[in-house]
Amino acid sequence: MNSQIIFHPFVLPFVLGMAFVLTYCVVGLIRVIAQLPKDDRKKFWRSLVTPKTAWANIRDLFGDCLFHVKIWKRNPVLGYMHSAIAFGWFMIIVIGHIMLFTLKPLQGVEVEGMARTFTNFYYPIFYKFFATETPVFAFLMDFFLLMIISGILIAVVKKIHSKIVGVKRVTKFGFADNMIRFALWTIFPFRLIAEKTNIMAFWWLYSIDLLIFMCMLPFTRYMHIPTEALFILLRHAGIKPSDPRKGYALAQIYSCPSCGLCIDACPMSVNDKNSGNTSAYFMKKLRNGDKEEAQRIAETCMQCGKCVEVCPVSIESCDIKMSQRAAVPYEIHSDHSYLDVISTEAEKSSKVLYFAGCMTQLTPKIMRAMKKIMTAAGEEYQFLDENGGICCGRPMLLSGKTAEAQAMIEKNTELIKQSGTTKLVLSCPICYKVFKEEYHLEGIEIQHHTQYIDELVKSGKLKVNKNDVNYVYHDPCELGRAFGVYDEPREVLENVGNLCKAKSEKELSICCGGSLGSFNLTQKERDEITENSVNDLMFNNPDEIVTACPLCLKTFARKSPVKVKDIAEVVESQIIN
């Protein structure tokens, strides 16, 4: 080992690659921040210094970028695979740098000023060629290098046979992605061989591999490595993507590692033909600038939110899809002036206000059950849309028409405020989502009937019998994943019968397939999703399927082998008078 040498031409490819990738990242960073709308940018700066968000930033930077907690949670094998490579590599770089300080001056060679800085750049990456280290460091470096290689071995197995590591479908890659992956896989074996044999060819191969990797990085999925950190900061700033290709969305596009965990999760993947409609591919199309395909996928998505739930990077693909939808200039400039003349028959009082919603008008059992429940509990209530009402605005929003939805939102707000109520009870989770997110109903508590019934039962106002029917509960997407209303319905059901488990529960529950979110899915494709969801619910052979959404109810009823009921109906049948 020649400790006198501080430079060799084989470091040049690496230095070149590093310089390129750093420049690209800095330019990209400025671009993303410049593209943010002014208000969002302000929010972003403020979030960096607000203690609460700053803490969340630190927590997630370590948890997500370094320790990959979310992948571990999702699938331990994948967690190890990813951590071995990413964390191992990170440690090698860090320890390399620490070593640099302990080895000062460089094995007797005096290096000054610029040369010193320049040397620092590549020295830790190729240190074994230039210097010898202490046994402790030697062990640590070898340990992490072997750890990386073990991760790569798993990755190779996953590529050949993904089911071994518990993944059914993986993202299909193009040439560039495959090539950079090959480069990544070979970097470390080359380094190991170079370090152990000191054959010059392997040092060159190692360095050229690094060049290939870093030059291709901005144009492939591996861009997620530098971008994720920025994305975490932006996410905690609490902003929403306003353009599907710019600013915050751009940060998300580059943060998507195309890992494909969302492919298995997506309810549409039940038909292999449709697995191309999943978020992983959507993000890819956006990155490649394929607007037409991105639009098609955005409009096919059911907005069930499961991809967001399982995403190890927490990419908010549903929001990006919504902004993609909004990007299409549909010639709908709704004229909702007719809404002006509508008034409510509701009298001014502080009674509970019940709003069934459009979909519930088609499931009279829910309305009847709710009336009976409220009467039995001695609640005074008014029924806002007993004779038909105005749409809540969510379907219009789902079509990307924010301004058009606003007219309905304003009219409903006016009607509700006129009633003087302090509590609004809704039967439809679709309404619930928009009421919670877009309505400004200060001083009015908004509840879905699952929460309301739970409250009535717990407060003793509503007395119910327990029977021995086995129920399984289906979490409607817009109640479960969107707001985490998981416990209330289950507690209610435990009070009236036996609750058994579905195969996929709570945040992992599978969309019924009826979602208003999708424009493009055909009845047949929806039926496949429904059948899959029903099979999942039937896992423990329940006597009845219970849900809390009129749309889920109607969708399941077509395909279920057992009775499908709304939770209100189940409770109604068990009321003690």
Given the rule CB under 8 A, which residues bind another protein?
A: 328, 330-336, 338-339, 341-342, 358-359, 361-365, 368, 388-391, 393, 395-396, 398-399, 401, 408, 514, 516, 519-520, 522-523, 551, 554, 557-558
Distance (Å, rounded) from C-alpha 103 to C-alpha 116?
A: 13
Strand partners, 470: 498
Min. distance of Cβ 340 from another protein in angstroms?
A: 10
Give whichever of 230 and 390 is closer to another protein, judged by the CB atom.
390
Give whichever of 10 and 383 is closer to another protein, judged by the CB atom.
383
Give whichever of 339 and 500 is closer to another protein, judged by the CB atom.
339
Distance (Å, rounded) from C-alpha 330 to C-alpha 328?
A: 6
Give whichever of 223 and 397 is closer to another protein, judged by the CB atom.
397
Distance (Å, rounded) from C-alpha 175 to C-alpha 461?
A: 65
Residue-level length of the chain: 577
Nearest partner of 438 among 413, 418, 475, judged by Cα: 413
Phi, psi (rounded to 5 degrees) for 564 = -115, 130
Phi, psi (rounded to 5 degrees) for 142 = -65, -40
Q: Are 570 and 497 in contact (CB under 8 A)?
A: yes
Min. distance of Cβ 368 from another protein in angstroms?
A: 6
As a whole number of Å, the end-to-end CA separation of the chain is 91
Min. distance of Cβ 396 from another protein in angstroms?
A: 5
SS3 73: helix
Min. distance of Cβ 355 from another protein in angstroms?
A: 13
Q: Are 354 and 554 in contact (CB under 8 A)?
A: no
Give whichever of 96 and 276 is closer to another protein, judged by the CB atom.
276
Give whichever of 236 and 559 is closer to another protein, judged by the CB atom.
559
Q: Are 185 and 155 in contact (CB under 8 A)?
A: yes
Min. distance of Cβ 341 from another protein in angstroms?
A: 8
Min. distance of Cβ 336 from another protein in angstroms?
A: 8
Q: Are 399 and 328 in contact (CB under 8 A)?
A: no
Min. distance of Cβ 183 from another protein in angstroms?
A: 42
Give whichever of 175 and 338 is closer to another protein, judged by the CB atom.
338
Give whichever of 501 and 554 is closer to another protein, judged by the CB atom.
554
Min. distance of Cβ 334 from another protein in angstroms?
A: 5
Min. distance of Cβ 92 from another protein in angstroms?
A: 53
Cα–Cα distances in Å, from 167 out to 67, 75, 76, 313, 531? 21, 9, 12, 17, 22
> Which element (helix H / strand E) includes 576?
none
Residue showing tokens 């094998």? 77
Give whichever of 180 and 359 is closer to another protein, judged by the CB atom.
359
Nearest partner of 254 among 224, 225, 229, judged by Cα: 224
Q: Which amino acid is at 248?
A: Y
